[in-house]
Homo-oligomer: A and B are copies of this chain.
Amino acid sequence: MNVATPELIALVRRADTLATVSGLLGWDEQVNLPPGAADQRGAQQAALAAVIHAASSDPRIGALLATLEAKGGAGLTDDERTIVRQARRDYDKATKLPADFVEEKATQDSRGYHAWARARAENDFPSYAPVLEKNLELVRREAAYLGKGDAPYDYMLDLHDPGLTASAVDRLFGELKQELLPLVRAITASPVASRARAAGDKLRGFPVEGQGAFLREVTGKIGFDYNRGRIDVSLHPFCSGTGSDVRMTTRYKEDQPLDALFGSIHETGHGLYEQGLPASYLGTGLGINAGMAVHESQSRLWENQVARSRAFWQHFEPRWRALFPGQTAGLGSDELYLAINAVEPTLIRVDADEVTYNLHIILRFEIEKQLFAGELAVRDLPAAWRAATRELIGLDLTSDREGVLQDVHWSGGAFGYFPSYCLGNMIAAQLWFRALALRPALEEDFARGDFSWLLAWLRENIHTQGCRYSALELVRRVTGEELSPRPLVRYLRERYGSLYGLG
């Protein structure tokens, strides 16, 4: 190891540790903050942001990087190379953006959120359009500061998933779209669709306490370590923190008990990843996740491939019925399985099932791509969204509130984030078939309530790899194949084809 490496690690770790404090404050804001304390929390986060920025742009980091990068990083180990690469990425981000730009962006992010919330409540896109114009301008400027002014959308994609480009996503999504559209049409046309809907409607009156007890059992059995994490209630479910302090949230509805359950299994997938990162490298560029698509693959794999399977419910259904005998008395096992795997096109992304969800993401990607290519103007977004909704989801929009105004992401300048969700689904399916090939008895394990083989395999191949490889490299290394939409299509056809009696 180069003598400069430990010093670099100490400095980046200092900045990272302060960033985890900011993360904890963010969690606390969603879970605990008294309503009247919002301003105080804002001041705390602003003070922290300043010290985090100072720590991240410490000139000693720049000097150490120059030393370590000399002669193309000759003499560094692979792990050192990863740490140096990530430290360079963070250092450039911290130092290449002028202070007045950072301030302008912070102000605009906050203003943008409130403008979006108001516009959505009042179904008023025109009042929101200038915010989007401004956010697009800021993104272009940010990309230019980082030397990526010629490809700002690629810059944004790379921000969430290092190495990803719009042309790569375009190819993957194009192929997926061709396969998904006929599959969704066939499912919707199936007589089973209305039975699935009716089965879901039977789930009523599940007390919150019982739901909480059950989902703790399930997530604990899957492998979430409650000695190094917790689950609480918040308005929007999320997972935050890393290493030994991973905090998930969920929310309960008495008449939709599957929501909290599958939501918390989803967050457990994220949580297992964060709990499984290489402990000795936490706080360095090696001890973090490999980007949002890989992160999403972990949540989706447990939520969909594992927890929506018959084998999974073979194990957990008796316990679930024992906890809720009255509520489940009139519901057969096949009905339960149908309710868990109901597919129905909806206008709202966050309400979508695992099949049509991908079409919502493709819609957003296609629109973002056109926006950045200058082929679509902000003022034409509502019409473009309507047309795309008809083409991809097969539904007609009656208001922008259920269309272009439904997502918060763009209000804070988070363009290029949506693709990760669908790429995560692709990666999950590709990992799934690889795992099945290595362990054909995997679903028999699940039926016995044993998830240890799958978790151990993910730990070894994904979690403890940290940020060594990009999403595309990681998939290639673990599955032996390039990332492709075909495993996802195969998985969806197999599960939903048999369930919905398709040819």
Q: Are B35 and A245 in contact (CB under 8 A)?
A: no
Of all chain B residues, the one with the shortest Cβ separation from A14 is: B47
Pairs of residues from A and B, 7 with the lowest C-beta to C-beta distance, nearest first: A37-B245, A36-B228, A17-B47, A37-B244, A36-B227, A51-B51, A36-B244
Q: Which of A34-53 contact B (CB under 8 A)?
A: 34-37, 39-41, 43-44, 47-48, 50-51
A245 to B36: give the CA distance in the assembly, Å. 8
A20 to B229: give the CA distance in the assembly, Å. 24
Judged by a CB distance under 8 angstroms, whether A21 is at the interface is: yes
Judged by a CB distance under 8 angstroms, whether A259 is at the interface is: no
List B contacts of A35 (CB < 8 A).
Answer: 227
25 contacts between A and B (CB under 8 A): A14-B47, A17-B43, A17-B47, A18-B48, A20-B40, A20-B44, A21-B21, A21-B47, A21-B48, A24-B25, A28-B28, A32-B230, A33-B245, A34-B226, A34-B227, A34-B228, A35-B227, A36-B225, A36-B227, A36-B244, A36-B245, A37-B228, A37-B245, A40-B244, A40-B245
Of all chain B residues, the one with the shortest Cβ separation from A54 is: B51
Judged by a CB distance under 8 angstroms, whether A200 is at the interface is: no
Shortest CB-to-CB span from A222 to chain B, Å, is: 17
Q: Are A41 and B227 in contact (CB under 8 A)?
A: no
Q: Which of A224-259 contact B (CB under 8 A)?
A: 225-230, 243-245
Chain B proximity mask over A10-21: 1 for CB below 8 Å, otherwise 0: 000010011011
Interface size for chain A: under 10, 10 to 19, 20 to 34, or 35 or more residues? 20 to 34
Shortest CB-to-CB span from A267 to chain B, Å, is: 15
A158 to B212: give the CA distance in the assembly, Å. 50
Q: Are A44 and B21 in contact (CB under 8 A)?
A: yes
Q: Are B34 and A28 in contact (CB under 8 A)?
A: no
List B contacts of A50 (CB < 8 A).
Answer: 14
Of all chain B residues, the one with the shortest Cβ separation from A16 is: B47
Q: Are B229 and A34 in contact (CB under 8 A)?
A: yes
Of the candidates A25, A35, A39, A40, the one having the most CB atoms from chain B within 10 angstroms of its own CB is A40
A34-B227, A34-B230 given as contacts; is B17 within 8 A of A243 (CB)?
no
Of all chain B residues, the one with the shortest Cβ separation from A245 is: B37
Interface residues, chain A, CB within 8 Å of chain B? 14, 17-18, 20-21, 24-25, 28, 32-37, 39-41, 43-44, 47-48, 50-51, 55, 225-230, 243-245
Of the candidates A18, A25, A226, the one having the most CB atoms from chain B within 10 angstroms of its own CB is A18
List B contacts of A41 (CB < 8 A).
Answer: 245
List B contacts of A28 (CB < 8 A).
Answer: 24, 28
List B contacts of A51 (CB < 8 A).
Answer: 18, 51, 55
Shortest CB-to-CB span from A249 to chain B, Å, is: 12
List B contacts of A37 (CB < 8 A).
Answer: 228, 243-245
Additional A-B contacts beyond A17-B44, A36-B225, A36-B244 (11; CB < 8 A): A18-B51, A20-B44, A21-B21, A21-B44, A24-B25, A33-B245, A34-B227, A36-B227, A37-B244, A39-B244, A51-B55
List B contacts of A33 (CB < 8 A).
Answer: 245
A41 to B229: give the CA distance in the assembly, Å. 13
A225 to B229: give the CA distance in the assembly, Å. 30
A21 to B48: give the CA distance in the assembly, Å. 9
Shortest CB-to-CB span from A32 to chain B, Å, is: 7
List B contacts of A43 (CB < 8 A).
Answer: 17
List B contacts of A21 (CB < 8 A).
Answer: 21, 25, 44, 47-48
Of all chain B residues, the one with the shortest Cβ separation from A17 is: B47
A25 to B24: give the CA distance in the assembly, Å. 8
Of all chain B residues, the one with the shortest Cβ separation from A246 is: B34
List B contacts of A44 (CB < 8 A).
Answer: 17-18, 20-21, 24
List B contacts of A228 (CB < 8 A).
Answer: 34, 36-37
Partner of A245, one of B34, B55, B227, B229: B34
Shortest CB-to-CB span from A371 to chain B, Å, is: 38
A41 to B247: give the CA distance in the assembly, Å. 14
A20 to B46: give the CA distance in the assembly, Å. 13
A25 to B36: give the CA distance in the assembly, Å. 19
A229 to B245: give the CA distance in the assembly, Å. 24
A33 to B246: give the CA distance in the assembly, Å. 10
A41 to B50: give the CA distance in the assembly, Å. 21
A227 to B18: give the CA distance in the assembly, Å. 28
Shortest CB-to-CB span from A241 to chain B, Å, is: 9
Of all chain B residues, the one with the shortest Cβ separation from A230 is: B34
A437 to B227: give the CA distance in the assembly, Å. 55
Shortest CB-to-CB span from A472 to chain B, Å, is: 31
A336 to B427: give the CA distance in the assembly, Å. 66
Of the candidates A20, A24, A28, A44, the one having the most CB atoms from chain B within 10 angstroms of its own CB is A24
List B contacts of A55 (CB < 8 A).
Answer: 51
